[in-house]
Structures are given as C-alpha cells and as structure tokens.
Amino acid sequence: MRTAADLNFGETGIICGIEGSHPSSRRILEIGFTPGQEIELISKAVFNDPLAFSVRGTIIAIRKNEAACIKLI
C-alpha cells in the first residue's frame, strides 16, 4: 500500500487511513492528517528525512517513519 512516505516531490495524495500501531499515530491525527484530506509533499530534508507536507492550509514537517503510517488511496 502507498503511504505518504512514498510520495514524490510535488505529488499529491488523499489519505485513506492512519496505521494505528505507531506510537505517534494519535498525534498525526490531531495535527490534521485525517482520512479524506488531500496532502502534497512540499520538501524533503537532506537524507530524505523529515518530509514536509501541505495539509489543511499549513505545512507540517514529519519524520519519514511517521509519514509511512499515513496510508493513501
């Protein structure tokens, strides 16, 4: 399954769910990554980690392993 961590630079995706087993999953939801939202990969830092996404009108930086639990349609 494709996750937010698989997005390419400038590519958009629609969230279908969050992997619940990751300790950060609740925070990821709270900050606005909820099912149905469209996100776009804005930037990757050196070593491709963390990643910055546009979501709900802002830009959020998040580690790659955390982005990997954002499942896309």
Partner 1 sequence: MSLQKLEDNYLITLVGPPNSGKTTLFNYLSGKNYKTVNYPGATVEYSVSKVQKKFNLNASILDSPGIVSLSSHSPDEQVSIDSLYSHPTYGIPNLVIVTVDSSQISRHLLLVKQLIQSKFNVIVALTMVDLLRRKGFVVSPLILSVELNCDVVPIDGRSGSGVDELIKAAEQNLQNNKLSGLINPVPFDSNINVEYLLGLYKEIEQIEYKAVSKIIDNGDQIDINNANKRLVLLNTELSRKINLPDQTSLKIDRIILHKIWGIVLFFLAMAMTFTSIFWLAHPVMNLVDEAFGFLSYEALNILGNNWYGNFIANGIISGTGAVMIFIPQIIILFLILGILEDTGYLARGAMLIDKPLSKIGLNGRSFVPMLSGFACAIPAILAARTIPNKRERFLTIFIIPLMSCSARIPVYALLLAYIFPPEKEWIAGITLAGIYILSIAGSVSVAGIVNKLKNKIITAEDNSSFILELPTYRLPKVSVVISNSYHSTKVYFKKAGPIILLLSGVIWFLTYFPDYSPKVDTNNLNREQKIELQSSTRLANSYAADFGKIIQPIMSPIGMDWRVGVALISSFAAREVFVSSLALIFKVTGDKSTLQTSMLREMHKATIGNTGKTLFTPATIAGLIVFFIFALQCMSTMAVSRKETGSWRIPLIQFFIFTFSAYCFAIIVVNGLRILGIN
Residues that bind partner 1 (CB under 8 A): 18, 20, 23-32, 34-35, 37-38, 42-50, 52, 54-63, 66
Q: How far is the CB of 73 from partner 1 (least distance, A)?
A: 13
What percent of the residues of the chain are helix, what percent strand, and what percent coil, each to the nearest 5? 20, 40, 40
The CA distance from 41 to 11, in Å, is 6
Residue number, 1 or 47, with CB nearest to partner 1: 47
Residue number, 3 or 37, with CB nearest to partner 1: 37
